[in-house]
Amino acid sequence: MVNLLDRLDRLGPVCFTLTLYVARWLVLLPMMPILSALTPSGPANRALVEKLQSFPLGGLFLSTVLVAPVLETLIECTLPCLLLQRLAGPPRNPPARLRRRTMLREPRGQRRPQERPWILVGFSAAIMVLLHPLEVRVIVPTAITGAFLGYTYGHLVARGHVTAFLATTAFHGGINMVGVAILAFQ
């Protein structure tokens, strides 16, 4: 697992985000039939789907693919990250532009390991669950999605909050775009 994460660390922000986006689908898709079989869709979920289908497609796209990911990334990732940074003090793993100087002092071929943002991942997953419908069949995929978004933000924040915010928002918007497409073609 650590080797895989170390390989991910070497990717640029776009490739890193796309890799996690695909990995999220690979984790969730096999689970969906099992969750659907174990927990039938409740009336709240059916009502929500009917309500969403009654929206004009343009408004649904705007609200779920553009507006919601921006607001949710702020609430699920940016605010907890800023709070954790404030509580932890100065970062132990400096931004890449500062890290280049310190890497010159390390033996060739070795580099300092990236600190993993596991605390932020937990916070993001929990907040994501709280912001979405609390049905059994939704909680697990929502928590997994929140964890992937939190890891994306936590990893990329070393490059700056703007980069982390934009990548995480695009990741979330891509997920929601699939949902809008499914609703549109039902």
Convert the pLDDT of each residue in 112-129 to its tens digit.
Answer: 455 789 999 999 999 999
Q: Which of 117, 179, 178, 112 has its CA nearest to residue 148?
A: 117
Average pLDDT, the chain: 83
pTM of the full predicted structure? Answer: 0.81
Answer whether residue 8 is part of any domain: no
pLDDT for 103 equals 39
110 pLDDT more than 50: no
Please report whether residue 19 resides in a domain.
yes
95 lies in some domain:
yes
> Could you tell me if residue 38 is inside a domain?
no
Query: Quick one: pLDDT at residue 102?
Result: 40
CA gap 31, 104 in Å, rounded = 45
- Asked if the structure places residue 7 within a domain, the reply is no
More reliable by pLDDT, 112 or 7:
7
The fraction of the chain above a pLDDT of 70, given in percent, is 81
Distance, CA of 56 to CA of 47 (rounded, Å): 17
Range of the domain at 128: 13-29+44-184
Residue 85 covered by a domain: yes
* 144 Cβ neighbours under 8 A, 6+ residues apart: 24, 27, 28, 125
> Does 39 reside within a domain?
no
Number of compact structural domains in the chain: 1
> Is 35 inside any structural domain?
no
Higher pLDDT, 184 or 165: 165
